[in-house]
Amino acid sequence: MLVLCPFVGFVILAIINHKFFKMKYIFTLLFCVLFFNTTFSQEQLLLIGFYKVKPGMEADYETAMIEYQGEMMKERVKNGCLRNWVFREVLPNSEGRKLFTHMTVDVLNLDSDTYNCPSVTPEKVFPEMSENMRSIINKVRSSSREVVYRTVVRKVAGVNKGKGSAKFAAFNFIKTKPGKKQAYINRNKEFSPKQYKNYSNQQAWYAWERYDARVGGLLSWDYLSMDGYNKISDKLNRVVNTPKSIKDKENKKYGPLSEMRDLNHQVLTRLLFSAK
């Protein structure tokens, strides 16, 4: 039988303890890396539809979209098929009204590029509605509008100081300058959320990059931002009082905004329905 002196035993125990804590450190580090990767690298996509409704059919179209399609989407959100569905009208005095009159926004689940919800059917959501009535509603919906185009955007950054979707939202269709897109994304991530949260009268601000042009639509923009307001007067009297020290730091790092992007047009919308 091998007998160790106390000093040798202490040294062996110290080595074992050192290896134990080293292994604990390694496992903790691996856990943190995996946790942060899965938590912060998750992708948020939106499917946006742009529609032009025929003059005089706006009321019928909006009724069908809110009372029929909206209730369907609300059930899909409740069942976890997607995060939200939003239906907006372009205000009559907005310049974007010439391009399209209505928008739908499907907010997909994280790391999803589509959604499937076979458990939610018209028969389950409207059990007392006849098949003929469902057919009539669908015909009203499809015949009263033209699909201008649909596209996909990926979330860059955002902040919402209120609860739910902003009642009024101005969408800014942006074209980034050649070679400046990633820097503009970094700028929005680093500076914009704090500025709009702390120094603005806006309820919300979000930015997305154009993700998939294959689904069609205008290629004159590759970036989209949204300014959300509780009241139309907040939009008309927009305030962003970012301290000069912060703006100077931002401009020193990234340069003037005019050298990074062009604002093609802005579309002012009113919320008609939100499933969440």
The tens place of each residue's pLDDT in the chain, 276 residues long, gives 444 444 444 434 443 455 444 455 444 444 443 343 433 457 899 999 999 999 999 999 999 999 999 999 999 999 999 999 999 999 998 888 999 999 999 999 998 888 899 999 999 999 999 999 999 999 999 999 999 999 999 999 999 999 899 999 999 999 999 999 999 999 999 999 999 999 999 999 999 999 875 555 567 899 999 999 999 999 999 999 999 999 999 999 999 999 999 999 999 999 999 999
**CATH number of this structure's domain 46-274, picked from the four choices 1.10.3730.10, 3.40.50.410, 3.40.50.1010, 3.30.70.100:** 3.30.70.100
Tokens, residue 148? 């201008």
Contact 174, 159 (CB under 8 A): no
Contact 106, 38 (CB under 8 A): no
The pLDDT of residue 61: 97
pTM over 0.85: no
The pLDDT of residue 135: 95
The pLDDT of residue 67: 97
Contact 122, 134 (CB under 8 A): yes
The pLDDT of residue 9: 47
- CA separation for the pair 67, 73 (Å, rounded): 10
The pLDDT of residue 33: 37
Cβ neighbors of 129 (< 8 A, separation 6 or more) are 122
Where along the chain do its domains lie? 46-274
Per-position DSSP letters for 35-70, written without gaps between them: HHHHHHS---EEEEEEEEEPTT-HHHHHHHIIIIIH
The pLDDT of residue 179: 96
The pLDDT of residue 272: 98
- Burial of 174 per CB tally in 10 Å (0-12, 13-18, 19+): buried
The pLDDT of residue 216: 53
- CA separation for the pair 128, 138 (Å, rounded): 16
